[in-house]
Structure 1
Amino acid sequence: MASVFPTSLLTDLHDGSVAHEDSIKNLEVLGISLDKTCPTVATVSWLVCLETRSLHMLYYSSVATATRKRASSTQPRSREARVFVVLEDIMQNITPPPFFLALPGEPPIPWQKWKKVFLNYMHVCGSNLSSERKTSVLQHCLGAEGLEILETLPAITTSDGAEGDNSLNEFESTLLRLDKHFLPKVSIILQRYYFGKRKQTDDESIEDFVTALRKLASSCNFGENLEERIRDQFMLECKCDKVREALWAKNDPSLDEVLIIAKQVEHSMACIENLRKSRNVAMDVQALDTKTSNKFQANIRTRLM
C-alpha cells in the first residue's frame, strides 16, 4: 500500500521554490503518492520505512518538507518548532508493521524477522517514548492471538541471563519473554559443525563467502572470538591456493587484513590472466600474419617461374 505524503515534501525552505520533477519521480517510484492540498513551511531530512509486508526495509533519506500552515498563527515559528511539526505530520503517514499473530496458528512472518521490522518502526517513531508506551505499541502490533500468548508467558528470572525484571525495563522484559517463546531452539554444536564445513564455491566471490560465514556464525555463539573464527575459516577454506599461501605467510592477521590481502592477490591474478590472454592473442595474430605472408610470397614465386 503506497504511503501518502504532502506535496510540500518537495518544496525548499529557503526560497519556497518547488523541487525538480526528478525528485517527484523518485518519490513516486518508491510508492509515495502526493497530497497536493498541503502547503510548505519547513525542511527536514526524513527516514521512511516501506514494504514492511515483504520484509524488505527500504530506507529513503531526502531533504524534504512536510507541514501545514496554521491559520491561527500570527507570528512566525522558529525553525526548530517548524521541524517538530514536520516530524509530527510525517509520523502520521508511517504504517506500523502487520500483526505478528492475529489468528491461531503459525505466525505468517518468523518472529526474528518480524521483530526487526517492529524495532525499525519503533526507531522511526522516536527513542523518547517511555517503556510503558513502547510496550503498549508492541502489544497492539502482536495481534489478538499474539497478545493472548504473551499473557501466558512466565516472567523473566535470573536463569534467563538477566537479574530478573530489576535489570530490564518493561519493554525489554517483554521482548525477552517473546524471544524465549518464539525463537527456534537450535543446537550450537550442530551450527558450529555447519560453520566448519563451509567452503568457498568456485563461483563465489570473497564478499559473498564472508557474508555466508557471518550468517552461519550468528548461530554459533562464538562471542568475542567471532572475528577470529570467521578469519580462520576463511583462511582454511578459500578456493584459491595462492590466496591461501599469501595469508598463511602473515603472522596472526586480523579479519580485515585477511580480506585486504585476499582481494589484492585475487586482483593481481586477474590482471596477470588478462595480460596472458592479450599476449596469446597477439602471438596468434603474428603467427597468422607470418603464415599469410609466406603463402603470398610462395604464390609470387610460382607466378614468376
Structure 2
Amino acid sequence: MVSEDGDKSEDEERHEKEVSIIGSIKPLKIDSQVPERWKIWKQKFEIYTEANKLDDFPETRKVAIFLNLLGDQGLTIFNSFSVDRKTATLKEVIDKFDAKFNPLKNLSVERYNFFSRQQNSDEEFEEYVTAITNLSNSCEFSTLKESLIKDKFVIGISDKKVKQRLLQEDNLTIDKCLKIAKSMKLSHERSAKIQSNNDNQTVDAVSNSYRQHRRSSTTGRSRSQSQGMSRNNNYHRQDKSPSTNYHRQDRNSSNTRTGTCTRCGQIHRFRCPAKGVTCRICKRKNHYEKCCYFNKNVDMVTKYPLLEDAT
C-alpha cells in the first residue's frame, strides 16, 4: 500500500526487489581449467548483478545469492575458507575465490604461451585472434598489446600465401589483417570451385566422345559382320546353283595381289587343274580340298577370298 505522502511501504519495496530478480547462470565447473572458468563465471555474475540491481540488496542476501548460483562444488570450496557467510561481504567472498583460483602467475610463462600459440589447421582467423587476445590479457603488455597481437597474428597463421601478403603491407592493424586474410580465403575458395566445375566439364566431354567412338566402332563392326555373312550366304547359294561360265570364274579366281589361284593353290594363266575335281571335304566340285572354304587348317582361306564354285 502507498502511504498518504506517496511513499511505498517497506513490504512493497521488498516485494519489488524480490520479483526483479531475473534469469540465472550455470554453476561453476571445477576442473583442471578452473582458473579460466572462474574468470568467465565471475564476469557472468557481475552482469547478473547489474541486470538485477543486486548492489541495492543487503550484503547477507548478495552473498547468499552468490553461493546459491556458484553450485555444489563452489560451496564446498567456500566451506574450506572458514568464513561466516552472515558476516562476510560479497567482495570478501569473491576475493577468497580469486586467491584460490588465481595463484601468483609466472609472467614469463604467460608470455611464452602467447608467443608460442599457432593457428590450428581447423581454426578460423577470427577464432585465432580471439585466442591470442585472451592470452595477451595476462601478459601485461600495456601499450604494446594491440601491436603485439597484430604481429602474432601475422606470424602465427598457417596459410603461407596470406602470411606473405600481410608481410608486404604497411600500417597494418588487426582489423586490416583480418579483412585481407578473409578476402584471400574467399577468393581461393571461389577459384577452387570454378576449377572443379571446369574439370567436371572436361571429364564429361571426354566421356561423351568416348561413348560416341564406341558407338561408331560397334556400328562399323556390325556392318562388317553383316556384309561378311551376306558374302558367305551368296557363296553357298551360288555354289548350290553353279554357273555355266567357268572360264569367267577361272579368270577371277586368281588372287590379284599374288597371282595364286584360290581353287588349286597354284599359279596358272589358263585352265585351272582343279576344274571338275570333287572336294573330299565339302563334296563340291572345281577346287582342291586344300583350298576348300570349310578346311580350317588351310591358311590360304583366311588370306584369299573364295569365288563361286563352278560345275
Shorter-normalised TM range: 0.5 to 0.7
* Alignment of structure 1 residues 253-272 onto 2, 5 Å: 253-272=172-191
1:121 lines up with 2:48 in the alignment: yes
Report if the CA contact (8 A) 2:110-2:138 is conserved.
yes
Query: Kindly, what percent of the aligned residue pairs are identical?
Result: 20
One of 114, 129, 133 as aligned partner of 1:210:
129
Q: 1:108 to 1:200 in 2, by over 3 A?
A: closer
Shift of 1:128: 6.4
Are 2:28 and 2:41, in contact at CA under 8 Å, matched by a contact in 1?
A: no
CA RMSD, 1 decimal: 4.0
Equivalent residue runs for 1:142-181 within 5 Å = 142=67, 146=78, 149=81, 179-180=98-99
Change (3 A) 1:136 1:97: farther
Q: Secondary structure at the match of 2:218?
A: helix
Q: Which has the higher contact order (CA 8 A, sep 6+)?
A: 1
Give how far 1:112 is off. Answer: 3.0
Distance 1:134 1:264 in 2: 53
How far is the alpha carbon of 1:145 from its aligned partner? 7.2
Greater C-alpha radius of gyration: 2
Structure richer in strand, relative to its length:
1
Taking the TM superposition and a 5 Å limit, the aligned residue runs for 1:100-249 are 111-126=38-53, 129=56, 133=58, 137-138=62-63, 141-142=66-67, 146=78, 149=81, 179-180=98-99, 182-249=101-168
Q: Cα distance, 1:121 vs. partner?
A: 2.4
Rate the CA distance shift 1:85–1:297 in 2: closer, same or farther, 3 A. farther
TM-score of the superposition, structure 2-length normalised?
Answer: 0.52
Q: CA deviation at 1:268?
A: 0.3
**Aligned with 1:281: secondary structure?**
helix
Give the conservation status (yes or no) of the 8 Å contact 1:99–1:141: no
2-structure distance, mates of 1:99, 1:276: 50
- CA-to-aligned-CA distance 1:74-93 (integer Å, 9 cap, x gap): xxxxxxxxxx9997564256
Q: Across the two proteins, how many residue pairs are aligned to each other?
A: 200
Flag structure 2 segments of 5+ consecutive residues without an equivalent: 3-12, 68-74, 225-311
**How far off is 1:129 after superposition?**
2.8
Tell me which residue corresponds to 2:263. Answer: none
TM-score (norm 1): 0.53
Equivalents in 1 of 2:212, 2:176: separation in Å?
A: 54
Give the Cα separation in 1 of the matches to 2:220 and 2:29: 90
Residue in structure 2 matched with residue 91 of structure 1 by the alignment: 20
